[in-house]
Structure 1
Amino acid sequence: MTTIGSTDVFPLALGANPFGWTSDEATSHEVLDAFVDGGGQVVDTADSYGDGASESILGSWFERTGRRDEVLLATKVGRKSDRRNLRPDTVRTAVGESLERLRTDRVDLLWAHYDDEDTPLAETLATFEELVQAGDVRELGISNYSPDRILEWLEIAEREGFRKPVALQPEYSLLRRESYEDRRRAIATDAGLAVLPYWGLASGLLTGKYSSAEDIEQAADSRRGGIAAGYASDEAFEVVRVVTEVARAQDAEPGTVALAWLLGREGVSAPIASVSRPSQLPSLLAVPQLRLSDEETARLTAASDAVGR
């Protein structure tokens, strides 16, 4: 188990971004059933995913199953197509609409999805505090903020007596390390922030799905192939090769190995990973149980070092 805020949870989060995108409602419900049945708790969505479709699918699942209290529900504000800002009125309206779509009375973890430098941070945080005090939001998290702005957030919260954030969501994987390891890791450790990295599988590249740039080109018309192309390089495919070799030795899936490496990194509490169908879930739920040897971890890290941090 790991801790997010005051809650002990399974150390892997389900990303709900495929819901309403690569996964229809019925299949998304099957994924949620299997995830929670397998011990998972944290489900991460955003009002911008499918322009609200992901939240609506989650809401219909809560209504159908009555399993709302079994989930630590995380959603984000600030990036929806019709309101890309964190002005006070925008935040209030966005959270109200999210609660309606999610068919719930509270968000367990509300992320500021992206920084809004045109709105004074103190105003945004004061609005978050209103929502916490009203019971609409339990805890707060920071996603895609610069190190300096994270520090500013922490300073304002301390000075004004606002609810302090409990979590940080950076991009982090074997193929992308610098943005977390440069300064955010130290900030998160010092502030006691739970770290929930996204894109830990590099849009599928670290699942072993693609072994060459040609494989990605052939899948370029797929919804994820184009994103995976942004990671492609000779050094990246060498990482994929090492991940695959370690997976073979461990009798595990490559994605399980890549996320197990990530879970073992300093400060990481629960990597976020997404699936489009239930058959993909067992490899994710197996992550906390996989134990990489020191030699395997060193091989993976060395291959990752060559990509450039």
Structure 2
Amino acid sequence: MRASASADLSGASDYIQGVNTLTLRIGLGTNTFGRTSDEAASRAVVDAFVDAGGTLVDTADTYGESEAIVGRWLAGSRWREQVIVTTKVGNHPEYEGLSTNSVTRGAEASLRRLDIDRIDLYYAHYQDDSTPIEESVRAFDALVRAGKIGRIGLSNFTPHAIAEWLRVADEGGYTAPIALQPHYSLLHRRAYETEYAALARDAGLEVYPYRALGGGFLTGKYRTELDLEGRARGAGVRGLLTPEGLGVVDMVRDVADAHNAPASAVALAWLIHQATVTAPLASATTPDQLAELVAAEALHLSTEEMAALTVASATYA
């Protein structure tokens, strides 16, 4: 089965003038904007991202001020036609779920915050078992036909629900999803590799993994309980402070040292080398951190290094 409306999204596609492929195979996650990064710092990061050739900027209606910050940045930049804007609906308290009402009102609210005419790639953020998939499919299709969104993506759906959405879209002649945003990294492999990778390949879906750096754990900055104190993401990575988790980090650092590269670049490069991955998403709070992420683009890992990383993370496979 193949998504009937699949575009050549080796990045985002023919629906953005002048952009046929991702210039940089990394997407910028903006969940830190307005949270751990104030607006000035956030704008500096996105400026550095596009200056480095980045085009995919990912946000969501539940990321606090992120959409508004991205919108104000877009309004003051010359990059709108080059930047691929992705956001999500379904988890905001005012537009919860994927009913027609939630999807339609959520899209309008995101368009206002982003101050744009069209969302380039719009995700159903979470599966909604209380709404028939047929209703959600029609709601997203209506937004495409109205020109308010360019393409459709799915995140945090079961494989069965993804397949059902594709089937309904295909049989009904509705616009089909062209992208998945799954949780996938060296520290979270099993679900994607056993349940989603083949589905994405067979359906021709683009794949943009989130938490690609394991909440920052794969950068190597968390080694002990003391390292978690005062950290915004400390609670989220505490469970990774195990011999197995630290073993993955040690292998990442070994490979990084061999290339004189940042550990974060190695973790992202491993994902970039996966056959079904289009571009991992990662966030940065400073331009210096952003530069470490961008270094993944030019990092060519050998077959032996890829195998060593895969073996070291086998506990998570």
- Coarse TM-score class (shorter-chain normalised): over 0.9
2:12: which partner in 1? Answer: 4
2:3: which partner in 1? Answer: none
- How does 1:16-165 map onto structure 2 within 5 Å? 16-50=30-64, 53-165=65-177
Quick check: 1:214 aligned with 2:225?
A: yes
- How does 1:199-278 map onto structure 2 within 5 Å? 199-211=211-223, 213-215=224-226, 218-278=227-287
> Structure 2 counterpart of 1:214, which letter?
E
RMSD: 1.3
C-alpha contact 2:95 2:103 (8 A) present in aligned 1: no
CA distance in structure 2 between the aligned counterparts of 1:36 and 1:3, rounded to whole angstroms: 14
CA distance in structure 2 between the aligned counterparts of 1:35 and 1:263, rounded to whole angstroms: 17
| Offset of residue 179 of structure 1 | 1.3
2:316: which partner in 1? Answer: 308
Give the match's secondary structure for 2:11: strand
Question: TM-score, with normalisation over the residues of structure 1?
Answer: 0.95
C-alpha contact 2:225 2:238 (8 A) present in aligned 1: no
1:169: which partner in 2? Answer: 181
> Structure 1 counterpart of 2:185, which letter?
S
1:289: which partner in 2? Answer: 298
| Offset of residue 3 of structure 1 | 3.5
| Offset of residue 203 of structure 1 | 0.6
| Offset of residue 5 of structure 1 | 4.5
The 3 A distance-change label for structure 1 pair 67 and 5 is closer
Q: Equivalent pairs: percent with the same residue? A: 45
2:6: which partner in 1? Answer: none
1:194: which partner in 2? Answer: 206
Q: Which moved more, 1:77-86 or 1:201-210?
A: 77-86
> Structure 2 counterpart of 1:70, which letter?
Q
Provide Cα deviations, 1:108-162, integer angstroms capped at 9, x if missing partner: 0000000010000110110101100000000000100000001001100100111
Give the match's secondary structure for 2:106: helix
Question: TM-score, with normalisation over the residues of structure 2?
Answer: 0.93
CA distance in structure 1 between the aligned counterparts of 2:242 and 2:168, rounded to whole angstroms: 41
Structure 2 unmatched ranges of 5 or more = 1-8, 15-19
C-alpha contact 2:222 2:228 (8 A) present in aligned 1: no
The size of the alignment, in residue pairs, is 303
Structure 1 unmatched ranges of 5 or more = none
Q: Which moved more, 1:147-156 or 1:220-229?
A: 220-229
CA distance in structure 2 between the aligned counterparts of 1:34 and 1:308, rounded to whole angstroms: 33
Q: Which moved more, 1:167-176 or 1:228-237?
A: 228-237
